[in-house]
Chains A and B, each alone.
Chain A
Amino acid sequence: MEQALSGFRIVDFSNYIAGPYAAMLLAEQGAEVIKVERPTGDPYRGKPGFLVWNRSKKGITLDLKTEDGQRVAQELAKSADVVIESFRPGTADRLGIGFDTIHGLNSRIIYCAISAFGQTGPYRDKPGWDPIVAAYAGVYVEQGGGEENPPLYLVLPLPSYYAAFMAAFSITTALFARELTGKGQMVDVSLYNSILGAESMYISDFKDKIRVPGAARSNQQGLMPLYKLYQGSDGKWFFLALGNPTFFTKFALAMGHDEWLIDPLFEGAPFLILPPRNTQLIAMFEKIFATRTRDEWIEFLQAEDIPCAPAVPVEAFFSDPQVIANEMVVEVEEPGLGKVREMGVPIRLSVNPGRVKGPSPGLGEHTTHVLTDLLGYSSGKIAGLKNHGII
Chain B
Amino acid sequence: MQPLESIRVTDFTTMINGPYATMLLSDMGADVIKIEPPYGDSWRAVGGGFLACNRGKRAIAVDLKKPEGKQVVYDLIATSDMVVENARWGVWHKLGMDYESVIKVKPELIYLSILGHGSTGPHSRSPGFDPVLQARSGQMVGQGGTGKPPVYHAIALNDQAAPMLGAYGAVLALLARIRKGKGQHIETSLTNASIALQSGEFMDYAGLNRAYRGDTDLRGLNAIQRHYQAADGRWIFIFCHYEDDWQKLCKAVDLQSLPTDARFENPEKRAENDAVLVEILKRPFRYKSAAEWVTILQQGNVPVALGQSAEDVLKDPHCLENDLFDDREDPNFGLARLIGIGPRFSEMTGIIRRPAPILGQHTVEVLREMGYADEKIVDLKAQKVVFAPDEPKQQPQSP
Contacts and interface: CB of A to CB of B under 8 A. Distances in A.
Contacts of A187: 343-346
A325 to B, nearest CB: 3
B28 interface: yes
Contacts of A183: 347
B101 interface: no
A165 B138 contact: no
Interface in B250-280: none
A390 B335 CA distance: 57
A220 B344 contact: no
A49 B208 CA distance: 12
A4 B184 CA distance: 11
A104 interface: no
A258 interface: no
A243 B153 CA distance: 15
B206 to A, nearest CB: 6
Contact of A156 (B133, B139, B342): B139
Tell me which of A139, A227, A238, A346 has the highest count of chain B C-beta atoms within 10 A of its own C-beta. Answer: A346
A200 B124 CA distance: 28
B307 interface: yes
A141 B235 contact: yes
A147 interface: yes
Nearest to A118: B322
Interface in B142-174: 142-144, 149-157, 160-161, 164-169, 171-174
A322 B342 contact: no
Contact of B47 (A5, A196, A210): A210
A168 interface: yes
Given A170-B343, A201-B156, A272-B45, A121 B318 contact: yes
Nearest to A237: B150
Nearest to B184: A351
A355 interface: no
Nearest to A302: B126
Between B175, B219, B337, the greatest number of chain A beta carbons within 10 A of the residue's beta carbon is seen for B175
A317 interface: yes
Interface string A238-266: 11010111110000000000000000000
Given A187-B345, A202-B155, A241 B132 contact: yes
Interface string B179-191: 1101111111101
Given A220-B149, A317-B202, A347 B304 contact: no
Given A142-B154, A196-B313, A162 B164 contact: yes
Interface in B353-396: none
A314 B164 CA distance: 22
A270 to B, nearest CB: 9
Chain B interface residue bracket vs A? 35 or more
A388 interface: no
B128 interface: yes
Interface in B1-35: 1, 3-4, 6, 15-16, 20, 24, 28
A347 B51 contact: no
Interface in A103-137: 117-123, 126-127, 129, 131-133, 135-137
Given A155-B142, A185-B347, A312-B135, A221 B152 contact: yes
A357 B156 CA distance: 31
B192 A326 contact: yes
B102 interface: no
Interface residues of A, number: 150
A302 to B, nearest CB: 7
A197 B339 contact: yes
A132 B184 contact: no
A177 B6 CA distance: 11
B239 A132 contact: yes
Select the residue from B149, B155, B330, B347 with max chain A CB neighbours within 10 A. Answer: B155
B316 interface: yes
Given A203-B339, A308-B132, A165 B322 contact: no
B283 interface: no
Interface string A1-13: 1001100000000
Contacts of B49: 201
A132 B176 contact: no
A167 B167 CA distance: 11
Contacts of B149: 220-221, 229, 237
B344 A198 contact: no
A184 B1 CA distance: 13
Contacts of B241: 129
Nearest to B324: A193
A322 B188 contact: no
B344 A48 contact: no
B59 interface: no
A338 B164 contact: no
Nearest to A158: B157
Given A173-B28, A309-B135, A153 B51 contact: no
A175 B173 CA distance: 12
Contacts of B169: 347-349
Given A152-B151, A196-B313, A340 B205 contact: yes
Nearest to A129: B239
A127 B242 CA distance: 12
A307 B150 contact: no
B330 to A, nearest CB: 6
Contact of B199 (A153, A161, A308, A322): A161
13 contacts: A53-B199, A118-B322, A126-B305, A129-B241, A151-B235, A165-B168, A173-B28, A176-B4, A196-B342, A272-B45, A272-B46, A314-B202, A318-B204
Given A121-B319, A216-B151, A241-B130, 16 more contacts: A4-B172, A5-B172, A118-B344, A135-B227, A143-B151, A143-B155, A161-B197, A169-B24, A207-B335, A212-B48, A220-B216, A241-B129, A245-B42, A271-B46, A305-B126, A317-B137
Pick the 4 closest A-B CB pairs, nearest first.
A49-B200, A325-B121, A314-B138, A193-B342
Interface of B: 1, 3-4, 6, 15-16, 20, 24, 28, 42, 45-49, 51-53, 117-118, 120-124, 126-144, 149-157, 160-161, 164-169, 171-176, 178-180, 182-189, 191-208, 210, 212-214, 216-221, 225-227, 229, 234-235, 237, 239, 241, 298, 303-314, 316-319, 321-322, 324, 330, 333-339, 342-348
